[in-house]
């Protein structure tokens, strides 16, 4: 399996992602530039990754400009053909702006940038990303100012009904309540997938939790699901 990691102007987690996938997970990684369009080296069993950062300085809305990068049309085509796409933090914002995932990411409820370890869990084993997790709370870092997931009630109901909610914020024991909903996300949502379950977006950073030297390898479980 190959991973393609896209760098946009303002990306700052691209090399974190490349290092985690290449060295900690032992995967082949191809570095991609936002002005390129060629994804011919990838098949639908591979994965394109949109990393975190501040693409185009987060002008307008986060991800709103990156959505129009030349590479993104290729990513959209790749996803529509069934290829796997993972967006983390700013990458999640870009996927929502591109219409590959429903909803939007709004400014954090307290209008402050949050950088800390949090816990999340999946109640859904029906996706590649979550199939090995089975309700296990994971400790994963977050670092965002606009990570509050929002969608209307009908969309939220549909996400839960169709097993499209990947992760929800929780405490260290897996209990889901507002005290551990750090950004005010609707229904504690930390990550979602599309109806076809090949496009995945999440605000927490699994690539920052894959190495024993960081005293945290919980992120490996998320990548292992994708790798198979």
Catalytic residue among 13, 47, 96, 207: 207
In 96-144, DSSP assigns E strands to 104-106, 114-121, 138-144
- For residue 57, the Cα-to-chain-centroid distance in whole angstroms is 19
Catalytic residue among 89, 96, 119, 170: 89
Does the annotation count 205 as an active-site position?
Answer: yes
For residue 18, give the H/E element and its range.
Answer: helix 14-19
* Residue 145 Cα distances to 17, 54, 58, 114, 148, angstroms: 20, 10, 11, 6, 9
Instruction: For residue 54, give every residue at least 6 positions away whose Cβ sits within 8 Å of its Cβ, in sequence order, or none.
Output: 10, 11, 12, 62, 90
Does the annotation count 207 as an active-site position?
Answer: yes
* Residues classed as catalytic: 89, 205, 207
């Amino acid at each position: 399996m190959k991973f393609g990691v896209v760098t946009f102007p303002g990306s700052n987690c691209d090399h974190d992602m490349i290092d985690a996938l290449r060295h900690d997970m032992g995967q082949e990684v191809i570095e991609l530039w936002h002005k390129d369009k060629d994804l011919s080296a990838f098949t639908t069993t591979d994965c394109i990754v949109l990393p975190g950062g501040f693409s185009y300085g987060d002008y307008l809305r986060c991800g709103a400009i990156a959505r129009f990068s030349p590479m993104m049309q290729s990513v959209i085509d790749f996803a529509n053909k069934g290829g796997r796409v993972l967006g983390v933090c700013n990458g999640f914002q870009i996927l929502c702006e591109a219409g590959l995932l429903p909803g939007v990411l709004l400014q954090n409820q307290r209008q402050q940038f949050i950088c800390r370890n949090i816990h999340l869990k999946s109640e859904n084993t029906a996706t590649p990303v979550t199939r090995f997790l089975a309700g296990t709370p994971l400790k994963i870092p977050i670092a965002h100012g606009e990570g509050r997931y929002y969608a209307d009630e009908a969309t939220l109901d549909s996400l839960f009904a169709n097993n499209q909610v990947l992760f929800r914020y929780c405490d260290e024991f897996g209990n889901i309540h507002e005290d551990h909903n750090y950004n005010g996300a609707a229904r504690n949502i930390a990550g979602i997938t599309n109806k076809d379950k090949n496009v995945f977006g999440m605000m927490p950073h699994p690539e920052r939790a894959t190495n024993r030297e960081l005293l945290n390898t919980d992120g490996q479980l998320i990548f292992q699901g994708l790798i198979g």
